[in-house]
Structure 1
Amino acid sequence: MARPNDEVEALLREYADLIAITGKGAFKQRAYERAARAIGGHPADVATLDSKSLREIPGVGSSIADKVEEYLRTGRVAAVEETRASIPPGVRALLDVPTLGPKKAMTLYRELGVSSVDELAAALREDRLAELKGFGPKARENIEHGLAVLRQSGGRIGLDTALGVAEETVARLGEAAGCVRCAYAGSVRRMKETIGDIDVLAAADDPEPVMAAFCALPLVAEVVLRGRKKTTVRTVDGLQMDLRVLAEDSWGAGMIYFTGSKAHNIRIREIAVRKKLKLSEYGLFDAKTGRKRAARTEEEVYRRLGLPWIPPTLREDRGEVAAAQRDALPRLVTVDDLRGDLHSHTDLTDGIAPLTEMVAAAARRGYHYYAVTDHAPELRMQRMTLDKARAQREQLRQLAGEHGRLKLLHGTELNIDPEGNVDWPAEVLAEFELCVASIHSHFELDRDAQTRRLIRACENPHVNIIGHPTTRKFGRRNGIDADLDAVFAACARTGTALEINSHPNRLDLNDEHILRAREHGVRFSIDSDAHAPTHLGHVRFGVAQAQRGWLGPDDVINTWPLTRLRRFLRKTGAR
């Protein structure tokens, strides 16, 4: 179930969209967007804060704080409901289409009567948008692309949301009478970037009390199917969740079976058949006599098949079984391996917390080093200047030594323009200890142009890391069209790392890209792209992507000691 901060963030974001639709002012819209981001990233539960504490959250003034209190007290906000009532519901639904902004959505409704995604698709097929001002060929192409992105999402949700639900469910069911063990399985355990539904397993002699506790969970909106061994529910957010209860002595086999993937399970069942065994969710059995050979733990089942235990993040039938047979599975990178974070923001640009708070949060994570990389001036909405950057550098120097062993690095996130140039001349870039370069605009360029701009950025001697390389955002924007293998080769040649951006809305690079880039000899940086102290914890999702891409600690530059990292950042070829 969503925490109060998440609920309030969603409400304020909706209100910002409604303000944009009604044309009540870009300043007011941005104020609510900023407040939404600040509350979503605030470490304390807003439901526990008094009025004074609410107003101390960056960007939350008196008017917004009053609305937050009203929502927490009554479950509604009159101003939001009044604005909702003034806008046809279909117009709000159109905002789910990436690339379609509030003004265009309202125009479609007023001029063509379009009030649903299906009606929009029909209007495109009938070429009715051509009649409207501002809906030229490029705009129509963008809307078609947005509809395709929406269809591709297929109702799947982000890993962070699914994991939160799964962890809460497991914690509560673990307290149920007679529950001996409980864990989530399926694609959540394999840490796939998006999730269709959630599989939960429990071990108990009597399934009934566990099933009853499952159906009574506060996050359950509907019991779809209830049985003795399996129950299916739908959560208040519309997510399907399945609970299966097994005997404790079948736990290991059940976890393998329900974790999957299907292709991985087929591969290991083939090994079982060759050994005259039969593998199911209940155990590994002698095919002839039916005698159980292994079942209690995953390690036991894999060992009986002649394999070491295979980490769930690798179980996709991408060579992991063959590697296990050769005793060649990688030692995967973990969160504990990370010595620092090389991409984060403060309230100097679009972060919500001051530098001191971000540094303190990094110190609490036990990092050896931490880089602040606020946006550069070509992202004009952030209003960065060289004077501001240099003042921040001086502030970092003054903070040096205040948090024990933590070393502070002053960096910047540059903008890669259509030609591959970046903000600031070389002599200014040389002042920074590291430079992350990212694409923030011109997503529509063709394949050759996108490839050229990325390669040119790699070739810049001051660019150390390519941030969120494909620019994708789940449900909002597909990645750019570029020859990524050419980019990967350029990164390997120039000693430029590729970022695995850990923000759960990005997870960019994805696991398949990581696998390909690794073959080119690329190094990686697993970063949070944090805009608030709580966002530093997003690295767990980036690490999962890295594991799914078979990365070990040595592949990731922010697992290295600072002396080795500094050599890499000089782009001298030292690895």
Structure 2
Amino acid sequence: MGRVNDEVEALLREYADLLAITGGDAFKARAYEKAARAIGGHPADVSALEPDALREIPNVGRSIADKVAEYLRTGRIAVVEERRSKIPAGVRELITIPTLGPKKALRLYEDLRISSVDELAAAIEADALADLKGFGEKTQENIRHGIELLRRAGGRVPLSPALDTAEEIVAELSGVTGCRRCAYAGSLRRMRETVGDLDVLVAAERSAPFMDALCALPATAEVVARGTKKTSVRTGKGLQVDLRVVPPQSWGAAMQYFTGSKAHNIRIRTIAGHQGLKLSEYGLFDTGNGEPVASRTEEEVYARLGLPWIAPPLREDRGEIEAALRGELPEVVTGRDIRGDLHTHTDLTDGLASLEAMVDAAAERGYAYFAVTDHAPDLYMQRMTDEKILAQRERLRELDGTRGRTRLLHGTELNIGPDGEVDWPAEFLAGFDLCVASLHSHFDLGRTAMTRRLVRACENPYVNVIGHPTTRLIGRRPGVDADWDEVFAVCARTGTALEVNAQPDRLDLRDEDILRAREHGVRFAVNTDAHSVPHLGQMRYGVATAQRGWLTRDEVINTWPLTRLRAFLRKGGRRS
């Protein structure tokens, strides 16, 4: 399930890791990483491309194109399977630990015969790595933390692939004869950053056709349990899907019940109880005579309890019910409110698409404005120069006004150095329409130093947005340690927006951070940080995270008209 491009990308990345584990050519491994990234970000479906067209994808040469064609033809790549057979499964398991690279994983196996996460955790606790070169106290602490991150994630699936799977299942079941309604519920409908399993609901008079259809889906690898009201299957990627079929008249109650969260539902049932009512997945009933009083729509159920409809991302028992009772529930931002994207990249640095391709894609999305923010020179591997960025600006000015109503902004993503300094001097930064500034290194600075670093960046009169502020990667890297309340206060004081980065492996700021930051009066920018045309479609994840953080349209700067946005980007007039 999902895009074939994503499957190919995952396989090529695995091959790059396998090459690294077995001591293969580092240049070759890097070539496969680049090709994987290029295919994952390619806008066209690679399964529809001829071999010659595959080679036109950046970083995909003849050898890699042949392997992609082999996978599309047979569902396997022989050299990948051959390389897998040379490495114990446990060693491949080790490289899933954040902070533990392929070479260290192989050392652990060769020197200590460690071939599982549990064995490695036990070895660290027993101080068995003390004499192993390259595994000092700091390294062991990092690995220990990586194991904690891995275990904390457990069997949960990231939001993006879970949503892809759910939408495909809903599409399939919606086509079954007799389907009145079909939708996903649970934590996925609340758009949590990871999902334990999928809850899918169908409204129909007969359940059997839908149970049959779910069990027969190509993605279904195992039928866990089958019944008339509920069937559970497991996909080939290990995700459990629970399907429930309810009577059409119970649809609203069932959606409310199975969307959750558990804590939210307990509060709702308590309110019902105080009114002499009982709420279940089948409806809201009068406890005296058992008669149904509401069930067909969620709005009807909430209204009967004296509440407005509460958007699913808010249903976490974080004050939403109290706000609803007071009539103060926020009208959260939606995808329709987003007027533009303020953090994107092209192939001038580490993006995969040309400036023209990215601009065309933004115009097709109907954006009122679109910012290109390629990396600045302090990220040396991107090889940015003054001449390159100025040439890009000139070309962007030529394109401005030629793509419908989409206005183009020229920006840059600056690197925040250890002391809070950024790449270019003030007189050069003054030429940009906006500047995003982000942390890309030195993640282990102490709390005081990290706070000072971020504060100094916010106080720079040319920094408009702090990109992916905590730098976290979900399940792989924790956010940096800083006094965030101090940072939030400085953002509010200086007119510096905080980014809600929509990349599914970031979603940074987190919803919890957003809730804290908005109390300080901070403004936010929901951006994709797109490095390819398909990445522009990830805006939905950033919007969902913003909703979970209770953000309204007025708090998100890229929902504003361009004139208001430009005024904000001048940072109170301090920019020339």
TM-score (norm 2): 0.98
Once the two structures are TM-superposed, the CA of residue 384 in structure 1 deviates from its matched residue by: 1.4
The aligned runs of 1:481-560 (5 Å cut-off) are: 481-560=481-560
Instruction: Find the aligned partners of 2:70 and 2:291 in 1 and give their Cα distance.
Output: 63
The aligned runs of 1:443-454 (5 Å cut-off) are: 443-454=443-454
The aligned runs of 1:315-326 (5 Å cut-off) are: 315-326=315-326
The aligned runs of 1:338-377 (5 Å cut-off) are: 338-377=338-377
SS of the residue corresponding to residue 128 of structure 1 reads coil
> Equivalent residue for 1:80?
80
> Equivalent residue for 2:21?
21
The one-letter amino acid paired with 1:493 is: R
- Alignment of 1:391 onto 2:362: no
Do the aligned residues in 2 keep the contact of 1:58 with 1:353 (CA within 8 Å)?
no
Structure 1, 309-318 or 514-523: larger mean CA deviation: 309-318
The aligned runs of 1:92-491 (5 Å cut-off) are: 92-491=92-491
Instruction: Find the aligned partners of 2:491 and 2:408 in 1 and give their Cα distance.
Output: 25
Do the aligned residues in 2 keep the contact of 1:369 with 1:409 (CA within 8 Å)?
yes
Once the two structures are TM-superposed, the CA of residue 461 in structure 1 deviates from its matched residue by: 0.9
Aligned residues, how many?
Answer: 574
Instruction: Find the aligned partners of 1:130 and 1:398 in 2 and give their Cα distance.
Output: 60
- Alignment of 1:35 onto 2:35: yes
Structure 1, 13-22 or 276-285: larger mean CA deviation: 13-22
Instruction: Find the aligned partners of 2:514 and 2:356 in 1 and give their Cα distance.
Output: 34
Once the two structures are TM-superposed, the CA of residue 307 in structure 1 deviates from its matched residue by: 1.2
Instruction: Find the aligned partners of 1:88 and 1:211 in 2 and give their Cα distance.
Output: 38
Instruction: Find the aligned partners of 1:249 and 1:563 in 2 and give their Cα distance.
Output: 48
Once the two structures are TM-superposed, the CA of residue 304 in structure 1 deviates from its matched residue by: 0.9
Instruction: Find the aligned partners of 1:295 and 1:166 in 2 and give their Cα distance.
Output: 24
Once the two structures are TM-superposed, the CA of residue 28 in structure 1 deviates from its matched residue by: 2.1
Which sections of structure 1, spanning at least 5 residues, go unmatched? none
Once the two structures are TM-superposed, the CA of residue 560 in structure 1 deviates from its matched residue by: 0.7
Instruction: Find the aligned partners of 1:460 and 1:3 in 2 and give their Cα distance.
Output: 42
> Equivalent residue for 2:8?
8
Once the two structures are TM-superposed, the CA of residue 137 in structure 1 deviates from its matched residue by: 1.4
Instruction: Find the aligned partners of 1:81 and 1:245 in 2 and give their Cα distance.
Output: 41
Structure 1, 202-211 or 322-331: larger mean CA deviation: 322-331
The one-letter amino acid paired with 1:564 is: R
Instruction: Find the aligned partners of 1:113 and 1:469 in 2 and give their Cα distance.
Output: 39
Instruction: Find the aligned partners of 2:273 and 2:138 in 1 and give their Cα distance.
Output: 56
Instruction: Find the aligned partners of 1:441 and 1:208 in 2 and give their Cα distance.
Output: 55
Instruction: Find the aligned partners of 1:21 and 1:402 in 2 and give their Cα distance.
Output: 49
Once the two structures are TM-superposed, the CA of residue 3 in structure 1 deviates from its matched residue by: 2.5
Instruction: Find the aligned partners of 1:82 and 1:165 in 2 and give their Cα distance.
Output: 29
SS of the residue corresponding to residue 130 of structure 1 reads coil
TM-score (norm 1): 0.98
Instruction: Find the aligned partners of 2:139 and 2:326 in 1 and give their Cα distance.
Output: 53
The one-letter amino acid paired with 1:538 is: Q
Instruction: Find the aligned partners of 1:377 and 1:120 in 2 and give their Cα distance.
Output: 39
- Alignment of 1:51 onto 2:47: no
Once the two structures are TM-superposed, the CA of residue 270 in structure 1 deviates from its matched residue by: 1.3
Do the aligned residues in 2 keep the contact of 1:178 with 1:210 (CA within 8 Å)?
no
Instruction: Find the aligned partners of 2:551 and 2:368 in 1 and give their Cα distance.
Output: 21
SS of the residue corresponding to residue 242 of structure 1 reads strand
Once the two structures are TM-superposed, the CA of residue 505 in structure 1 deviates from its matched residue by: 0.5
Do the aligned residues in 2 keep the contact of 1:47 with 1:72 (CA within 8 Å)?
yes
Do the aligned residues in 2 keep the contact of 1:466 with 1:496 (CA within 8 Å)?
yes
Once the two structures are TM-superposed, the CA of residue 573 in structure 1 deviates from its matched residue by: 6.9
Do the aligned residues in 2 keep the contact of 1:347 with 1:355 (CA within 8 Å)?
yes
SS of the residue corresponding to residue 443 of structure 1 reads coil
Instruction: Find the aligned partners of 1:203 and 1:407 in 2 and give their Cα distance.
Output: 45
Do the aligned residues in 2 keep the contact of 1:257 with 1:265 (CA within 8 Å)?
yes
User: What CA deviation, in whole Å up to 9, does each residue of 1:445-467 have, x standing for no partner?
Assistant: 12112111111111111111000
> Equivalent residue for 1:561?
561
Between the aligned residues of both structures, percent identity stands at: 69
SS of the residue corresponding to residue 191 of structure 1 reads coil
Once the two structures are TM-superposed, the CA of residue 29 in structure 1 deviates from its matched residue by: 2.1
The one-letter amino acid paired with 2:386 is: L
The one-letter amino acid paired with 1:240 is: Q
User: What CA deviation, in whole Å up to 9, does each residue of 1:375-406 have, x standing for no partner?
Assistant: 11111121112211111111111212220211
User: What CA deviation, in whole Å up to 9, does each residue of 1:188-246 have, x standing for no partner?
Assistant: 11111110011011111111111111111111110101011011111110001101111
The one-letter amino acid paired with 1:546 is: A
Instruction: Find the aligned partners of 2:165 and 2:404 in 1 and give their Cα distance.
Output: 36
Which sections of structure 2, spanning at least 5 residues, go unmatched? none
SS of the residue corresponding to residue 293 of structure 1 reads strand
The one-letter amino acid paired with 1:250 is: S
Instruction: Find the aligned partners of 1:277 and 1:22 in 2 and give their Cα distance.
Output: 64
User: What CA deviation, in whole Å up to 9, does each residue of 1:522-567 have, x standing for no partner?
Assistant: 0000000001001001110000011111111110000111111111
The one-letter amino acid paired with 1:283 is: G
Do the aligned residues in 2 keep the contact of 1:159 with 1:188 (CA within 8 Å)?
yes
Instruction: Find the aligned partners of 2:314 and 2:88 in 1 and give their Cα distance.
Output: 47
Instruction: Find the aligned partners of 1:218 and 1:121 in 2 and give their Cα distance.
Output: 37
User: What CA deviation, in whole Å up to 9, does each residue of 1:38-67 have, x standing for no partner?
Assistant: 111222211111012111112211111111
SS of the residue corresponding to residue 33 of structure 1 reads helix
Instruction: Find the aligned partners of 1:28 and 1:387 in 2 and give their Cα distance.
Output: 31
Instruction: Find the aligned partners of 1:268 and 1:510 in 2 and give their Cα distance.
Output: 26
Instruction: Find the aligned partners of 1:422 and 1:106 in 2 and give their Cα distance.
Output: 38
The one-letter amino acid paired with 1:568 is: F
